[in-house]
Chain A
Amino acid sequence: EPEVTQTPSHQVTQMGQEVILRCVPISNHLYFYWYRQILGQKVEFLVSFYNNEISEKSEIFDDQFSVERPDGSNFTLKIRSTKLEDSAMYFCASAKLQGDNQPQHFGDGTRLSIL
């Protein structure tokens, strides 16, 4: 069964450094998402992406964050100047359609640790 893949599985970075988290969505999906989950907390939406542009973003997704689809298969999340509070699991998700009842399919995440 096709799946969303994310790399790396674990990223350790010094505070203030830039990180890029990578995702390969399911190949025939058109809608892409990033979420984060701080340890012990709920899954929180960051941003959605469709047709090569951001379609929606949350308050968390401020100017230090950016997303890109550099080619036909990859989808990336960049955090420009990391802070301690950016430590979390970051999940990429994709969906074939976006609408009522349409589920998103998640990757296994990147654990980001900021030192």
Chain B
Amino acid sequence: EDQVTQSPEALRLQEGESSSLNCSYTVSGLRGLFWYRQDPGKGPEFLFTLYSAGEEKEKERLKATLTKKESFLHITAPKPEDSATYLCAVQARGGSYIPTFGRGTSLIVHP
């Protein structure tokens, strides 16, 4: 069965304190890996798509990277407005294009 595991479950940072979130996956083959941001009471907001090992995508203070077994979401010099739950979703090779979501990492950035 395809599995997506995110760690840590929760992360508290001081403003400006850089860190990384992890998404590890076990799938038969990767079609795509997606990162989403989810604010409380809101829907997931698409951030990045990654496809091949070694690929990197950046947006403001966020950078997503991909290896054959995991993806990292690096947050550089975070601000309080970066506080949210970050979701990883993996699209596996096979019949279905439907992604499997991880449980997410809840990030709180203190001023």
- Chain A residues, Cβ within 8 Å of B31: 100-101
B45 adjacent to A102 (CB under 8 Å): no
A103-B46, A106-B45, A109-B42 are contacts. A45–B32 as well, Cβ < 8 Å? no
- Chain B residues, Cβ within 8 Å of A105: 46
- Chain A residues, Cβ within 8 Å of B51: 100-101
Give how many A-B residue pairs fall within 8 Å (CB-CB).
55
B49 adjacent to A56 (CB under 8 Å): no
Interface size on B, residues (CB 8 A): 23
Interface residues of chain A: helix, strand, loop or mixed (majority): loop
In the docked arrangement, what's the CA distance between A65 and B87, Å?
A: 26
- Say yes or no: is B43 at the interface (Cβ < 8 Å to chain A): yes
Chain B contacts to A: CB under 8 angstroms: 31-32, 34, 36, 41-46, 49, 51, 87, 89, 91, 96-99, 101-104
Chain A contacts to B: CB under 8 angstroms: 4, 6, 33, 41-45, 48, 56, 91, 93, 98-109, 111
